[in-house]
């Protein structure tokens, strides 16, 4: 059953371990099974090696090109075992006859290992287009997407006597500028999200699943046994991510349902018991001028009730108000609201001493003892 985020902070690593679903490769590293058993489909395309500019382009005929030799040579690739239907794939890959363990293959990130050699690739390369390479910085390659997008949030102590940096949150984007992954790095003090983890938001059709790995040890894999369903605009209508396999087997967990208006603004959140289908908590949200002005039911036990807003429009692509008030939709330990998967963002920023760049984008605020600095991809 769900607990408050304060109770979860000390046991978050245990929660991730409970959610882990792993296999073992030949070197003993744990690796995630490739979901849906379709690694060929995930591999075909352009991959930036490291931070670039080297790019590999894989085609479905078993060949790939390498920008280091100007794409003149056809290199070979093949998986070391066959994937049948929707069965998970736990094998590795041969690149020009050299075997690599696949530590990770997700929508946008690929990690390969051969002995002491570790390769990290990000999806969506620039090929040999020099103009594109000059226009895209290293951070753009890492973040993905296009245009001015939130790249990093750094959270530190607001005290002038302390320079402690608690968290660095890094965002990754798909081709539609939607957050597809987040990395919650930093120290032991948790401010937002699952501290110390890379988290992938995986959507296939109307189904959403979570997966990721420990930033301190990428061989520690996790895949949530819970899942969610999204509407046609990609907003969650139902999810039970904060559960484990044992609770699911016993049918003893909580399911969150989100009701949206025509603007995809959440008007009601119901937390329902799986076994009885009875409401455990109900929260209702009042909106004015595209902002939440009041909420009933005390979500997350955080004491939220009413809000006041500045006249500063939130030009940032993510919901920065959920950076400051992270428990608006109960616990939300996976940052779903911050990254835009629960609700459309409020039009204006909450009251506070926001600092803006020359184009009106928020870059800093101090709130409740923390200073938040936001950087962008361009």
Regarding pTM above 0.75, the answer is no
Specify the range with the lowest mean pLDDT, choosing from 26-35, 39-48, 126-135: 126-135
Q: What percent of the chain has pLDDT over 70?
A: 79
The pLDDT-based confidence of 107 (bands split at 50, 70, 90) is: low
- What does the pLDDT average to over 313-322? 97
Contact 158, 373 (CB under 8 A): no
Question: pLDDT tens, 145-156?
Answer: 889 999 999 998
pLDDT at residue 38, as a whole number:
67
What value does the mean pLDDT take over residues 198-216? Answer: 90
> What's CA 107's distance to the chain center, in Å?
11
Which tokens hold the place of 301? 């036990």
- CA 374 from centre of chain: 17
Identify the structural domains of the chain with CATH numbers, from first to last. 22-139 (2.40.128), 146-376 (2.40.160)
Q: CA-based angle 298:186:335, to the nearest 5? A: 35
Distance from C-alpha of 378 to C-alpha of 375, rounded to nearest angstrom: 9
- Long-range residue pairs from 365-368, CB within 8 A, at least 24 positions apart, any chain: 365/324, 366/158, 367/324, 368/324
Is residue 15 very low, low, confident or very high in pLDDT (cuts 50, 70, 90)?
very low
Give me 315's structure tokens: 């030009």
- The β-bridge relationship of strands 279-288 and 291-296 is antiparallel
Chain centre distance of CA 370:
22
Ordered DSSP codes for 9-37? HTTHHHHHHHH--EEE-TTS-EEEPBGGG
pLDDT above 90: residue 60: no
- Can you give the C-alpha Rg of the chain in angstroms? 22
CB count in 10 Å sphere of residue 210: 22
């Amino acid at each position: 059953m769900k607990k408050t985020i304060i109770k979860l902070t000390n046991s978050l690593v245990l929660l991730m371990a409970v959610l882990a679903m792993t296999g073992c490769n030949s070197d003993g590293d744990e690796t995630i099974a490739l979901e849906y058993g379709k690694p060929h489909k995930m591999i075909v395309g352009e991959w930036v090696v490291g931070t670039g500019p080297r790019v590999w382009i894989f085609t479905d005929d078993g060949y790939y090109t390498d920008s280091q030799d100007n794409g003149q040579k056809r290199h070979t690739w093949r998986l070391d075992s066959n994937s049948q239907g929707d069965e998970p794939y736990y094998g590795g890959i041969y690149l020009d006859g050299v075997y690599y363990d696949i530590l990770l293959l997700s929508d946008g990130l690929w990690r390969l290992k051969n002995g002491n050699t570790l390769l990290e690739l990000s999806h969506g390369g620039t090929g040999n287009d020099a103009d594109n390479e000059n226009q895209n910085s290293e951070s753009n390659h890492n973040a993905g997407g296009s245009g001015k997008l939130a790249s990093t949030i750094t959270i530190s102590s607001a005290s002038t006597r302390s320079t402690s940096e608690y968290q660095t949150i890094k965002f990754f984007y798909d081709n539609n500028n939607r957050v597809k992954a987040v990395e919650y790095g930093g120290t032991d003090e948790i401010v937002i999200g699952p501290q110390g983890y890379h988290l992938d938001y995986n959507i296939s059709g109307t189904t959403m699943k979570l997966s990721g790995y420990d930033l301190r040890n990428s061989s520690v894999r996790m895949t949530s046994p819970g899942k969610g369903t999204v509407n046609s605009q990609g907003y969650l209508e139902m999810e039970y991510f904060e559960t484990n396999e044992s609770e699911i087997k016993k049918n003893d967990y909580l399911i969150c349902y989100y009701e949206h208006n025509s603007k995809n603004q959440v008007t009601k959140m119901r937390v329902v018991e799986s076994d009885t289908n009875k409401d455990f908590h109900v929260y209702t949200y009042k909106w004015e001028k595209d902002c939440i002005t009041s909420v009933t039911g005390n979500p997350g036990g955080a004491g939220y009730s009413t809000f006041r807003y500045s006249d500063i429009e939130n030009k940032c692509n993510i919901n920065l108000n959920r950076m400051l008030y992270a428990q608006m939709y109960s616990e939300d330990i996976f940052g779903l609201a911050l990254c835009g998967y629960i609700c459309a963002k409020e039009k204006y920023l909450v009251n506070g001493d926001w600092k803006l760049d020359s184009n009106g984008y928020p870059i800093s605020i101090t709130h409740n003892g923390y200073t938040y600095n936001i950087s962008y991809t361009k």
